[in-house]
Amino acid sequence: MIRLSLEIGQTQKPEAILFYILAPLSVLAALGMLIVRKAVHSALLLAWVMITLAIFYIALDAAFLGIVQIVVYTGAVMMLFLFILMLVGVDAPDSLTENIKGHRATAIVAALGFGGLLISLIGRATLNHVSVGLAMANEPGNVQGLASLIFTQYVFPFEVISALLITAALGAMVLAHSQKSAGARLSQRALSSVRFRGDSLANAAGLPSSGVFARHNAVDVPALLPDGTPAKNSISGVLTARGDVQDSTQYALGSLPKVDDESGDK
């Protein structure tokens, strides 16, 4: 029997140096993921963990996996995460209040116990052979070795994975693709007849644009009508629905300092 923690497969010194530099950094980044409040920071830290893992894969004679790790995980998966985070809103920090009292402390204590147990178990593990190394298996080349396994021994699960990809595509369509009802969109002709042959010609020249001239011209500030009331139709319906409309009466002329005073100073 060989003590796993002592004697299996001593690696070359450069790999040891690489490990001792990168491993603490990846653990720190993983811990940081739990501590930082903003989800985007968590995502970036996770991307870093994944990149260090890719480097480890290459050091572990898994060159193909190392590259795939970078392309698939950091390139595709993490970008998807970031994309969704941007969509959902980057600024919202995670609430740090506890739902259940003492829940977090319990979880951390449990984790320390769990991780400690796992690591001490691995440390006490024994093997009855020294690390074989992949020199022989990788002899025709890592990619060739993997390919011959994937297309012979593991060809069936490899084919079944396509079901998973179809499911994912189908699921994303079901949940995110909205099929607008056909025919609901009016033609150009119908639109202009609504505009010019409607009840009034008030909007025939186009809807008023948003903003109070020279004071505030953002899209969420309704224009002011001559009588001082905000013009609702100068704002996009989406903003109204979201309740993101500002009160434009604060920019009305009546609330401004007298023009004469300002010009007097100049």
Contacts of 178 (CB under 8 A, 6+ apart): none
For another protein, the closer CB: 112 or 190: 112
Query: Which window, 112-120, 210-218, 230-238, 258-266, contacts another protein (CB under 8 A)?
Result: 112-120
Query: Is the Cβ–Cβ distance between 248 and 230 less than 8 Å?
Result: yes
Indicate the SS3 state at residue 90.
Answer: coil
**HSE of 13, CA atoms in CB hemisphere, 13 A:** 0
Q: Quick one: which of 20, 91, 205, 206 contacts another protein (CB under 8 A)?
A: 20
* E strand spans, 83-233: 126-127, 223-224, 230-231
Query: Which window, 135-143, 196-204, 211-219, 224-232, contacts another protein (CB under 8 A)?
Result: 135-143
95 binds another protein (CB under 8 A): yes
In the window 150-189, what residues touch another protein (CB under 8 A)? 150-158, 160-161, 163-179, 181, 184
Taking residues 59 to 88 in sequence order and writing x for each that binds another protein by CB under 8 A, - otherwise, the string is: -xxx-xx--xx--xx--xx--xx--xx-xx
d(CA 18, CA 15): 5
Q: Quick one: which of 50, 221, 235, 245 contacts another protein (CB under 8 A)?
A: 50
**Alpha-carbon distances of 96 from 92, 99, 106, 108, 257, rounded to whole Å:** 12, 9, 16, 15, 45
Phi-psi region of 183 (alpha: psi -120 to 50; beta: other; left: phi over 0): left
143 binds another protein (CB under 8 A): no
Query: Which window, 107-115, 187-195, 201-209, 225-233, contacts another protein (CB under 8 A)?
Result: 107-115
21 binds another protein (CB under 8 A): no
Q: Quick one: which of 90, 145, 220, 240 contacts another protein (CB under 8 A)?
A: 145
Query: Which window, 114-122, 187-195, 211-219, 231-239, contacts another protein (CB under 8 A)?
Result: 114-122
d(CA 263, CA 255): 17
16 binds another protein (CB under 8 A): yes
